[in-house]
Structure 1
Amino acid sequence: MGSTIEGKDIRKLVIACDAGMGSSVMLAGQLRKTLKKQPVAVEHTPVDAIPADADVIVCHAGLAERARRGAPDGAVVVPFQVFIGDPAVDRVVKAIKDGGAVGA
């Protein structure tokens, strides 16, 4: 808890989900489009299979603890409440595009 990363240092953004896959797949697609001009890979993975090179993990608040347990050291977990238009996700996008810190 408490880790932060500068938006310019984010190279891999992971959308972690549980079994459902529908809404989080849409969010991953939306973020890929939004960030296509940025040097950031956006991946969609199960919460129990977060890749070791993830910098930021975005997941529904109900999955945040599981994501933190599976996240690599130094990765920032950003929980959100709604899949589309959540302010937490918007802050991550803004930090990647405009600079600034992303923190847990």
Structure 2
Amino acid sequence: MSSIDGSAVRKLVVACDAGMGSSVMLAGQLRRELRKLPVVVEHHPVAAIPADADVVLCQAGLAARARSGAPGAVVVGFRLFLGDPRVAQVVAAVKSGGPVVGTPGG
């Protein structure tokens, strides 16, 4: 399991696979929440995560694929697109400088 201090996050990627729009909405929400910080929030398919991503947020079922496609990033899997505690923890850590800890397994 990897981790990064939230204050060191410069690129946060929301990765998806289904293309249903929920992850795009999450990326937009995160952009608004983090707009005052020097953090870029992007949305990418799980098969095309940029190499410079510091943190990747994706549905828990995609975490193993995201981890293999972005070995240098901290991958955080979540279950709910809105109101998931893992996403809230990442946002809080980026805002306050706490640890962002990747989820174990796949």
Q: 1:66 aligns to what? A: 65
1:24-81 residue CA offsets vs partner (Å, 9 max, x unmatched): 00000000000000110000000000000000000000111100010142x1000000
Specify the code of the residue in structure 2 equivalent to 1:100.
G
SS of 1:30's partner is helix
SS of 1:97's partner is helix
Alpha carbons of 1:51 and 1:21: their partners in 2 closer, same or farther (altered >3 Å)? Answer: farther
Distance in 1 (CA, whole Å) between partners of 2:18 and 2:93 is 29
CA-based RMSD: 0.8
Where does structure 1 differ by over 4 angstroms across 4 or more consecutive aligned residues? none
SS of 1:58's partner is strand
Matches within 5 A, 1:61-100: 61-73=60-72, 75-100=73-98
TM-score by length of 2: 0.93
Matches within 5 A, 1:32-43: 32-43=31-42
TM-score by length of 1: 0.95
Specify the code of the residue in structure 2 equivalent to 1:69.
S
Number of equivalences:
102
Specify the code of the residue in structure 2 equivalent to 1:84.
L
Consecutive unaligned residues of structure 1, counting only runs of 5 or more, are: none
SS of 2:14's partner is strand
Identity of aligned residues (%): 68
SS of 1:57's partner is strand
